[in-house]
Amino acid sequence: MAGKIVVHEEGAVATVLFNRPEKKNAFDEEMIERLIGALGELRARGTAHVVILRGAGEHFCAGRDPESAQRQLQLGGYELRQAYQMIVALNEVLAGFPVPTVALVQGEALGFGCGLAVRCDITLAAESARLGFPEIHRGIPPTLVLSYLGRLISRKRALELVLTGRQLDAAEAERIGLVSRVVPTGLLDKEGAELAAQLAGRNRLALQTCKAFFHETRDMGFEEAGRYGASVLAAVATSKELKEAMGAALEGKGHGR
């Protein structure tokens, strides 16, 4: 299997594999660029209904490659800012991907790797998984993490995690909202495959609409979101694609899908 980022498509399911198991799938500059490119290509093709992110071997992603991070620290201020902007760009591509993204987390998901895991729309974690943001241990103030973490969990909890750099087990990560669901370690692949198949069977426009609406209304009040929701639903429900899908479901042909 060649390449540090490997993409496999089967039907409506696209799987993106971090393929550097000898380094616990730690990311260097090349992997960041290739992951941005891979997600961009998948978006352009528009055939996937769900994208799975996972790591090869025993770990999801142990963070940034130390050698890569050390090289960046030798850069001047402008160049270093550009390097960090690549991480921002990746976060934006992942968060803005039009269909659901799913992280299958095993072993370590730390720092940069934890960010990739929790910024996916759905995060399944094996019971044995460990998650956290340990940057503070290396004297790094993880401002990029803080830019989004307080939107995923309580701001008070987010700051505590970043300031202490402590690791969480999967159960605590689920309890505070970083993880969608914890599954037995030996069943992560099975649960992931079942979830992928379920989402792949959904109408793509319906998936896109749900995800876009969810993010667009994050800062709206209840009434404003409700009015906007009525407008969005009316707009998409008149499309030929959804009319056919909804009609089939009402006739019982699409039940369970």
pLDDT digits (tens, 9 = 90+) for 172-209: 999 999 999 999 999 999 999 999 999 999 888 889 88
pLDDT digits (tens, 9 = 90+) for 131-181: 999 999 988 899 999 999 999 999 999 999 999 999 999 999 999 999 999
Q: Across the beta sheet with 167-169, what order do the strands follow?
A: 108-110, 130-132, 167-169
Least confident of 20-29, 81-90, 154-163: 81-90
Q: Provide the pLDDT for residue 248.
A: 64
CATH for 5-200 is 3.90.226.10
Which of 53-57, 82-86, 202-206 is predicted most confidently?
Answer: 53-57
Per-residue pLDDT at 255 exceeds 50: no
Q: Provide the pLDDT for residue 232.
A: 85
> Pick the residue with more confidence: 85 or 25?
25
Q: Is 22 a catalytic residue?
A: no
Residue (of 17, 90, 79) closest to 51 by Cα position? 17
> Pick the residue with more confidence: 15 or 206?
15
Q: Provide the pLDDT for residue 257.
A: 42
Tokens of 181: 């669901």
d(CA 54, CA 14): 11
Average pLDDT of 217-239?
87
Q: Provide the pLDDT for residue 256.
A: 45
Annotated active-site residue in 135, 191, 241, 251: 135
Q: Provide the pLDDT for residue 250.
A: 61
Residue (of 12, 7, 11) closest to 205 by Cα position? 12
